[in-house]
Amino acid sequence: MTAPAVPRAFSCRVYGVLREGGKVLLTRSIFRGRTFVNFPGGGVEIGEGPADALRREFMEETGLRVRLTRALYSSEGAHLSTQAPIQIVASYWLVERDGGNLLLGGNGDDVVDLFWSEPERLPLEEMFPSDREFAERLPALLSVKPSSRVHDHGLDKSYDVP
């Protein structure tokens, strides 16, 4: 029996949850011959901040510009990437559409399809463990009202709670 891979590096990942009409936007992608579903987003590049990385990745994968509105979740588990031995550290943000045109047929690269799903009916079986960890919690996270003590820390905007 082979011992599990020990992580030797981290991959910082950031993903956006765009919610419209009670549904969230998901991507269907192919990587190394495997089809999988996740939220628009991806890796933070050296010298790039997480917010800028999410805006860039969201545009590349969906054709949409977005504003980050609220941090939803940061990974708790120690998940290995498909490019092991790399450990994934992921954060997930609620975002709002800020322009652009949705690329419904995919982006002609790694994303082959975009589709909408109710948060309670996400295709968990098609997700990698790191994304599934978040997706299982998403309905509860979306129902939480943010604190009225939110400050703008250099993101796109601050917001008030009604």
DSSP 106-151: --SSSEEEEEEE-GGG--GGGS-HHHHHHHTTHHHHHHSPPPS---
Integer Cα distance of 156 and 23 in angstroms: 23
Provide the 3-class DSSP secondary structure of residue 6. Answer: coil
Q: How high is the pLDDT of residue 4?
A: 63
For residues 138-154, average pLDDT: 70
Q: Is the pLDDT of residue 158 over 80?
A: no
**6 vs 5, higher pLDDT:** 6
Integer Cα distance of 107 and 112 in angstroms: 7
Q: Is the pLDDT of residue 147 over 80?
A: no
Q: How high is the mean pLDDT of the chain?
A: 86
CB 94, CB 134: distance < 8 Å: no
pLDDT-derived band of residue 162, with 50, 70 and 90 as boundaries? very low
Domain boundaries, the chain: 12-143
Q: Is the pLDDT of residue 145 over 70?
A: yes
Residue with the two structure tokens 């009202």: 145
Helices (H), the chain: 50-62, 129-135, 138-143
Per-residue pLDDT reduced to its tens digit, 78-121: 767 776 688 888 999 999 999 999 998 888 888 999 999 999 99
CB 87, CB 7: distance < 8 Å: yes
Q: How high is the pLDDT of residue 109?
A: 86
> How much of the chain exceeds pLDDT 70, in percent?
84
Assigned fold of 12-143 = Nucleoside Triphosphate Pyrophosphohydrolase (3.90.79)
Listed residue (35, 28, 38, 19) closest to 105, CA to CA:
28
**112: number of Cβ within 10 Å:** 14
